[in-house]
Structure 1
Amino acid sequence: MLQMYRDYETEIEFKNDLDNIYLDIETTVPLGLILSELITNSLKHAFRGRKKGGISIKFKYIDNKYVLEVSDDGVGMSKSDKKDSSGSIGLMVVEMLTRQLNGVLEMNGSDGTSFKLTFNE
């Protein structure tokens, strides 16, 4: 994936903070698709015109809930970007997959962009 979207002038550092978690296939597939879409969005949009950037991925089991956080330190999303994102096929798929997991998705577009998905298995 990195090769497809990589701007070779931008150095991207990945930071991972992952618990060792085992999930069933009905959870793993939608979770993997969500993760792929959120990373792809960061690679495509977050670092235009920048020499360096970072993407952080956290996956934890906290208080009987699974929490996936994907964030970047890129340009963030303006209010108009947030409105336009509701028409984005990729983010619509993320929202549908979140519903499939009976999860809650939170987005923050300041100081980069971050998504937090909380769900139970």
Structure 2
Amino acid sequence: MQLLESHGRTSDVKIRIHGDHVELNMDTAVPLGLVISELISNSLKHAFTDGGGEISIELEKLDGRYRLIFADNGPGLPENVKFPDGGSFGFRMIDNLSKQLGGHLEIRRPPRGTIFIFEFSEQVYSERIDT
């Protein structure tokens, strides 16, 4: 994966991906891909500073909605980091993209690691250019 290579983490960080077979339109897939990319980048930059770890990504098809579960087994978000405003530009971007997808984002802070649970709907294409 190119994100692992760009952070020099190809040998010490493992990414597990599981999920239902899902086909999303571009109005949904692009913002969702940006959310996942930012979450991976944040984990690579902040969660594994003392060595390797594991990232888990799961995508579930629900009744008319979808659930993305993103988790890492790093030390976890510090308590003083509040989502979205207390974090980075990336946190604000994730928040805006989740709203764009009509979604709800929950962050869990277990004793070890961080879990992002994101439920969203597929976006219906709308005409963007007046003719």
Taking structure 1 as the reference length, what is the TM-score of the superposition?
Answer: 0.89
* Residue equivalent to 1:5: 7
- Runs of 4+ in structure 1 deviating by more than 2 angstroms, as ranges, are 81-87
* Residue equivalent to 2:29: 28
> Shift of the alpha carbon at 1:97?
0.4
More strand per residue: 1 or 2? 1
Q: Do 1:13 and 1:55's aligned partners in 2 also have CA atoms closer than 8 Å?
A: yes
Instruction: Spell out, residue by residue over 1:71-100, the C-alpha distance to the aligned partner (whole angstroms, 9 max, x if none).
Output: 100010121123686341001000000000
Q: Do 1:78 and 1:109's aligned partners in 2 also have CA atoms closer than 8 Å?
A: no
Q: Do 2:83 and 2:91's aligned partners in 1 also have CA atoms closer than 8 Å?
A: no
The size of the alignment, in residue pairs, is 119
Mapped to 2, the partners of 1:101 and 1:7 lie a distance apart of 30
- Which SS does the other structure have where 2:82 is aligned? helix
Which structure 1 segments of 5+ residues have no match? none
Name the larger-Rg structure: 2
C-alpha root-mean-square deviation of aligned residues, in Å?
1.8
Q: Do 1:6 and 1:43's aligned partners in 2 also have CA atoms closer than 8 Å?
A: no
Which structure 2 segments of 5+ residues have no match? 123-131
Q: How does 1:1-121 map onto structure 2 within 5 Å? A: 1-7=3-9, 11-50=12-51, 52-82=52-82, 86-110=86-110, 111-121=112-122
- Which SS does the other structure have where 2:80 is aligned? helix
More helix per residue: 1 or 2? 1
Percentage identity across paired residues of the two chains:
38
Q: Compare 27-36 and 79-88 and name the one that shifted more.
A: 79-88
Mapped to 2, the partners of 1:109 and 1:47 lie a distance apart of 16
